[in-house]
Amino acid sequence: MKATMQQEQEFKKLQRKHLPSRPVLRNALLAFLVGGAISAVGEGVRQFFLARGIGPEAAAGPTAAVMIFLGALLTGLGVYDEIGRVGGMGAFLPITGFANSIVAPAMDFKREGWILGMGAKMFTIAGPVVVYGLLTSFAVGLVYYILYIPR
């Protein structure tokens, strides 16, 4: 039985009464704390490189590499999914979350082999981020070019 539009509307009304509410405030606070903590660690790593005489621009590269390594390591140890469960977007958005989104499917699909399993599937989640990230960068670059470069 497929409900009519009207039946669907009525059901949605009934359903809404019983659905548990999303703890938006708590989630936002935890995302802030977890995301902030990850960023603070990142800043600590950056300061480490700065203190060793690497310039501010050049320090970004090794800092990102260390954070990616940490994200991958914690995923492999089975910790990052717990951080993500608590921190939500705060854990997904930093570069450690990006590492998690690649290592998690890689671990999962290793069982289907190195090529069609891990190799093919490790970008199932990160792939769209890369694709649309590149697309956005291109668009921003184009706007930047039109506005500033010719002058």
Partner 1 sequence: MVLLESKADKRLGRQTVAFANPPVLAAAAAVAGPMEGEGPLGRLFDEVVPDRLVGQKTWEQAEVKLLEKAIHRALGKAGLKPTDLDWIVSGDLLNQLGASSFAGRTLDRPFFGVFGACAAWAESLTLAAMMIDGGFAHRVGVAASSHHEAAERQFRYPIEMGYQRPPTATWTVTGAGAAVLVDPRAVGDGAWPRITHATPGRLVDMGIKDPFDLGSAMAPAAADTIEAHLRDTGRGPGDYDLIITGDLGQAGRAIAVELLMQVGYNAEPVLDDCGLMIYDRKRQDVHCGGSGCACSATVFAARFFGDLRAGRMRRMLLVSTGAMFSPTTFQQGESIPGIAYAVAVESQSAAREEDR
Query: Which residues of the shown chain bind partner 1 in the complex (CB under 8 A)?
Result: 1-3, 7-8, 11-12, 14-15, 17-23, 27, 75-76, 78, 80-85, 87-89, 91-92, 97, 100-101, 103-105, 107-109, 111, 124-125
Q: Using the structure block, give the residue that is written with the tokens 């009304």.
A: 13
Dist CA 33 CA 89 (whole Å): 11
Question: What DSSP character marks residue 52?
Answer: T
CB of 83 to partner 1, least distance (A): 6
The smaller minimum CB distance to partner 1, of residues 42 and 84, is found at 84
Nearest Cα to Cα of residue 63 among 84, 92, 94: 94
The smaller minimum CB distance to partner 1, of residues 18 and 52, is found at 18
The smaller minimum CB distance to partner 1, of residues 59 and 75, is found at 75
Between CA 32 and CA 38, with CA 37 as vertex, the angle to 5 degrees is 105
